[in-house]
Structure formats: structure tokens, C-alpha cells
Amino acid sequence: TKICPKKTSFDSVQIEIISGPHSGETYTLSPSLRKPCFIGRSTGKKFRDRGISLSKDSEVSTTHGKFEMKPGGLIFFTDTGSTNGTLHQGVELDDNVPLKLEENMELLVGSSVLKIKFKQT
């Protein structure tokens, strides 16, 4: 489990990879108002230390999307213009349009299914 550096007292989000090349991995992210946490195929520092690196999933873009905190403590996911897109309930997300995350929501990022859980901090 990787921890995204925490700057606020808001809840964090737990991302469980339930299928795909990284199945069984779990990440705990705590995006703040000014510091999103990124997901992608890259193994760069911002993915390793502050986000999620899905380096074994060839369907994931180098920088696929981001988890960000909005005012009021809500956490959103935004596809940042990935090549293969992100699906929620079979519908592709529009690029750069934040989706409010909800408990037990599933997102298809590349060939990986991510299950969303919220954690009280």
C-alpha cells in the first residue's frame, strides 16, 4: 500500500485493483486541494510516491488520469486525455471532466478494474 502525502484532514480513498495485470494490489491516496494523485503506466516519481503506477498494463496511458480533492472534501477522478479512455458502468468518461467518486464505484482504466473505497482519516 502506497500513501500519497497528506496535507489536509480529509478522508482518503482506497483503490483496490480487482482485475488486470495488477490484480490484488491496493493503494491509499490522499489528494489535497492543490495536489492531485496521478494514475498511469509511468514509473516516474509522482506515480510511485504519490499515486498509482500500473506499469504492467499496456492499455493504460503514461499519464492516464488523476484523483483530486475538490472544496467540501469530495474526491473526483478525471481522465486526463488517455488514449484508451476510462469507463464507468460501460460508459467512457469525457476527457478532463471530473467524475465524483462514490463508495464501491468501479472504473475500468486500461485493462484494470479499480474499486473505490473511502477511508476515514
Mean pLDDT by 10 residues, the chain (121 residues): 47 93 96 94 93 97 95 92 97 97 96 90 53
Q: How far apart are CA 104 and CA 119, in angstroms?
A: 12
Confidence (pLDDT) at 33: 87
User: Which positions ≥6 away from 90 have C-beta within 8 Å?
Assistant: none
Instruction: Report CA 72 to chain centroid distance, whole Å.
Output: 19
Q: Are 2 and 18 in contact (CB under 8 A)?
A: no
* Distance in angstroms (rounded) separating the CA atoms of residues 21 and 3: 21
Which pTM value belongs to this model? 0.89
DSSP 98-120: -EE--TT-EEEETTEEEEEEEE-
